[in-house]
Structure 1
Amino acid sequence: MQEWILKRLSLLNYKNYQDADFEFSPQINFIVGPNGAGKTNILDAIHYLSTGKSYFNPTDAQNVRHGETAMSIMGEFVHNESTERIHLAWDKRKILKRNDEKYKRMMDHVGLIPVVVISPADRDLIVDGSESRRRFLDSTLSQIDPVYLDHLVRYHNVLKQRNALLKKGISDLSLLEIYDEQFVAHGIYIAKKRQSFCDEFAPQVANHYTSIADGVDAVSLKYNSKVDTDKYLEQLRLAFAKDRVLEHSTFGIHRDDLDCLLEERPIKKFGSQGQQKTFSIALKLAQFDYLMAKKGFKPILLLDDIFDKLDASRVKKMVENVSSGVFGQIFITDTHPERVEQLSNFTGLPIYSIELLRNNEMTSTSIEVYNEENNEVNES
C-alpha cells in the first residue's frame, strides 16, 4: 500500500485565510514567512484533514476566520494511483466527507491518513499533566486500531454518564452497576492495549533519544496505571465511597499516565529543558516509526518551526533523517527564506517552497539540486 500524498489544499474562512489554494510536492514542502502569516495554520489544516481534529486548537468554532460563521478545508490526495478528496466543513457542526460521501461517524476516518506533528509545543508532552500524555497515547493507538478507538469513545461516554449520576446523587444502585460493568469492560481492553503498546514503543523512544543525544543519557518510558485488569471491578467498587463524596469517578484508566524517565527519574522534574525537548522529539520520531510499521506506509510529517526553536544539534539530527529518505511527504515551516536553499544543499533533495506574506499573498518556487555523480539537475 502506498502512502497518502497531499497535492492540493483549499482553505475558505479558515483561521487567517479568507480564500486560499496551495499546491504541494510529494517530497519536501518548505512554507516560509514572517510570524503571523499563517504558516502553522497550513500544517493544522493538513492535520484537520488527516484526523478530523485541529492539533493546536480543539475548539472548532475558534478556527473559523474572525467575523465569519463557517469554514471549509478541502484536500486532494493521491493514494494507490488514484485521487482522493477529503473535505472538512464546520457550520455550527462538523461535517467530514471522503470523495463527496459524508462519514456517518467521524471516528471512521481516523487512521486513514496517518500524520505526525513535531512542534516546539511538544515539550508540553513532558512537563504538563497526565492528560497530554494520555492524548498522545490514544492518538497513536487510534490511528492503527479502530477497535481501540471504539472502546475509547464508549468508555468516555460511560464515564460522562457515571459522573452525572454521581453528581446528582445515586438513588438507583442498579443503574450504577450497569455503568460499572460497561466502564470496566471497555477499560480492560484499553489498559491491555496501552500496556502492550508501551512494551513495544518504549525501546524505539530510547533508541531515538540515544541517537539525538549521542548516547549521553539513559531514558525509558513506562505505562503507569493503578488498574489491575483482573480486579478492575473490585477496585472500582472500593473507590465508590470516595467517588460519592467527590461526585466524580476517581479511579480508572482515565487517570493513567506515561512515565517519561531519565536515569529512572521523572524527566519533567530532573531533566533540563534540552533533555525534555530531546525526549519529546524522540517520542514523535518513535511515533512515526510505529505508525509506518503498523500501517505499511509512511505517515505525512509536519515540522513546525523547528529551526528557530530547537538548538543546532537537534536540528542537524532532524535534517539527517530528512536526507536519509526515512520520511515520505514532509511539510516544514520557517521564518527565514535562505534556509530553503541551505536545506536543499544539505539533503541533496529538491524542495518546493511557498513564501507567505502578511496580506495572505504568496509565491512558490522549486529549488533545483545539482547531482554531481551523473551531472544532472533534478527538480520537483
Structure 2
Amino acid sequence: MSDHPLQSLSLTEFRSYERLDFAVAGRTVYLYGPNGAGKTNLLEAISVLNPGKGLRGATYAELGRRPPDEAHGRSWGVMARLHTGEEEVQVATGSDPRDRTKRTVRIDQQPVPAAQLLDHLRMIWLTPAQDRLFIEARTDRLKFFDRLVYAAEPGHAAAVAAFEKALRERLKLLTEGPADETWLRVLEQKLAANGTRVIEARRAALTTLQTEIDGHESAFPKADLTLTGTVETGDLTTHLSNGFRSSRDRDAAAGRSLFGPHRMDLAVVHRDKNRPASDCSTGEQKALLLNIILAQGARLSAFKPLLLLDEVAAHLDPVRRHALFDETHALGLQTFFTGTDLSLFDGLAGRALGVRVEAAQIIEILE
C-alpha cells in the first residue's frame, strides 16, 4: 500500500456522476478525456473532503446531480478511504437531509465538524480560474493566500471567520444604528484580538513559504512574496483597536470597512526580472503560481498533502511540463492532473495511474 493518503473514492449523485467507485491505491493520477467529460468534477469531489466549499467555491446545493427533467439537484455524497500514518480512516461528506444548503461530515461513520477533516487530509489546488489571480481583485488573492495559511494552521480559518463576523456586525451598527458605544467597543476588541491572530498567522506562513521558495531548486521562476495593507506602530492589537475606533465615521460614510487585516494584499514579484507578477505575461504568471504551489507542497510535506492541478499541463511547454512531473514526484506529493490529451502525460509513464474519463465514467485505466 502506498503511504500517500487517498486510497479510494466513491461518488453518489455528485455533479455529473450518478455513481463512481475509484480505486486510487495511493497513486498519483492523470485524468484525460474530452472537455465536459467530468474530469474537473472529479477533482471537485476530492476537494470537498476539506473544510469549505471546494475548488469551484460552489454552494452545497449546487453539487448534486440534476437530470434535465428535475428542477433541483439530488442529494449527493462523497466518501474516501484514507491512509494516515499507521491507520486507515473513512471520511464522508454529503447533503444534509434537513437542509440541502448545508452538508454533513462523518469520520469512521461518526458525525464531526468539517474542521476535523484537516486532521486526516491537507490539500492544495490550482485551477484555470486562478490564472488571472495576479491581475484581478485583491480579495481573490487574499482568499488564495488564506487557504495556503490554514492548510498548515487550521485554526486560521476560525480566526478569519470570527473576524469577518464581527466586522459585519460593527458595520451594521455604524450604517443602520444604533451606534451603541459599549457594543462597538466590544466588537472592536474582538476585531483587534482576532485580527492580530490573522495577521500573525499570515506573516508566519509567508516567512516559511518564502523560505521554501528560496531553498528549492525549480524549473519555475522564483516568486518574492510580501503582504501589504496593514502598517502597525507598536503593539499590533492596540494598533488595530485604535484604528477601528478612529475609522468609525469614515466607515459609516463609506458604507464599508476601510481599515483592518481584510484590506491586506499578497504582492508577488518575479525575482529574476524584478517585475510585479501583474506585469508579467500569462505564461510567466502561471509559472509563478506553480512556484508558489510547489513551495506550499514542500511546506506541508509532513502532512503528505494532496495536490490537485486542473488543466495545468496543457499550458506548459514540454520542458516545464516534465519538470512539473519530476518536482511533484520528488516532493512526494500525491497529485491529480487533468488534461484533454493523453500525450500531455508522457512524462508520467510508469509512475502514475492514467484514467480516461468520458461521460462521467472511467472508460480506461492505464497502469
TM exceeding 0.5: yes
TM bucket normalised to smaller: 0.7 to 0.9
Residues of 2 paired with 1:164 and 1:338: CA distance? 55
CA contact (8 A) 1:38 1:356 kept: yes
Shift of 1:64: 1.7
Unaligned stretches of 5+ residues in structure 1? 368-380
Residues of 1 paired with 2:82 and 2:351: CA distance? 20
Q: Secondary structure at the match of 1:97?
A: strand
Q: Secondary structure at the match of 2:53?
A: coil
Matched, 1:100 2:109: yes
Partner of 1:372: none
Shift of 1:222: 0.5
Residues of 1 paired with 2:106 and 2:167: CA distance? 29
Shift of 1:4: 5.0
> Which residue among 86, 90, 93 is the counterpart of 2:95?
90
Mean CA deviation greater in 313-322 or 271-280: 313-322
Deviations 1:267-303 (A, max 9, x none): 21x21112211111111111111112xxx24211222
Shift of 1:265: 4.4
2:219 counterpart letter in structure 1? I
> For the structure 1 residues 273 and 126, does the alpha-carbon distance in structure 2 shift closer, same or farther, using more than 3 Å as the test?
same
Partner of 1:351: 352
Q: Secondary structure at the match of 2:11?
A: strand
Partner of 2:145: 137
> For the structure 1 residues 176 and 3, does the alpha-carbon distance in structure 2 shift closer, same or farther, using more than 3 Å as the test?
farther
Q: CA RMSD in A?
A: 2.3
> For the structure 1 residues 241 and 362, does the alpha-carbon distance in structure 2 shift closer, same or farther, using more than 3 Å as the test?
same
Partner of 1:337: 342
Partner of 1:377: none
> For the structure 1 residues 140 and 254, does the alpha-carbon distance in structure 2 shift closer, same or farther, using more than 3 Å as the test?
same
Partner of 2:315: 309
Deviations 1:120-171 (A, max 9, x none): 3332322222212211222122122233333222112211211222231234
CA contact (8 A) 1:227 1:252 kept: no
Residues of 2 paired with 1:344 and 1:110: CA distance? 28
Q: Secondary structure at the match of 2:354?
A: strand
Matched, 1:225 2:233: no
Shift of 1:257: 0.7
CA contact (8 A) 2:163 2:194 kept: yes
> For the structure 1 residues 171 and 361, does the alpha-carbon distance in structure 2 shift closer, same or farther, using more than 3 Å as the test?
closer
Shift of 1:107: 2.5
Partner of 1:298: 304
CA contact (8 A) 2:8 2:80 kept: yes
Unaligned stretches of 5+ residues in structure 2? none
**Matches for 1:135-284 after TM superposition, within 5 Å:** 135-205=143-213, 211-213=218-220, 219-228=223-232, 229=236, 230-262=238-270, 263-268=273-278, 270-284=279-293
1:343 counterpart letter in structure 2? G
Partner of 1:289: 298
Matched, 1:71 2:76: yes
Residues of 1 paired with 2:283 and 2:170: CA distance? 42
Q: Secondary structure at the match of 1:86?
A: strand
Residues of 2 paired with 1:227 and 1:160: CA distance? 22
Partner of 2:130: 122
Deviations 1:36-69 (A, max 9, x none): 0101111111111133431113322222212333
- Structure 1 segments of 4 or more deviating over 4 A? none
Residues of 2 paired with 1:141 and 1:4: CA distance? 22
Matched, 1:320 2:326: yes
1:267 counterpart letter in structure 2? A
Q: Secondary structure at the match of 2:12?
A: strand
Residues of 2 paired with 1:132 and 1:267: CA distance? 15
Residues of 2 paired with 1:183 and 1:353: CA distance? 48
Shift of 1:310: 2.6
Residues of 1 paired with 2:192 and 2:225: CA distance? 25
Query: With structure 2 as the length reference, what TM-score do the two structures score?
Result: 0.88
Residues of 2 paired with 1:305 and 1:235: CA distance? 43
Q: Secondary structure at the match of 1:139?
A: helix
Residues of 2 paired with 1:200 and 1:120: CA distance? 26
Q: How many aligned residue pairs are there? A: 351
> For the structure 1 residues 138 and 194, does the alpha-carbon distance in structure 2 shift closer, same or farther, using more than 3 Å as the test?
same
Partner of 1:46: 46
Residues of 2 paired with 1:237 and 1:168: CA distance? 17
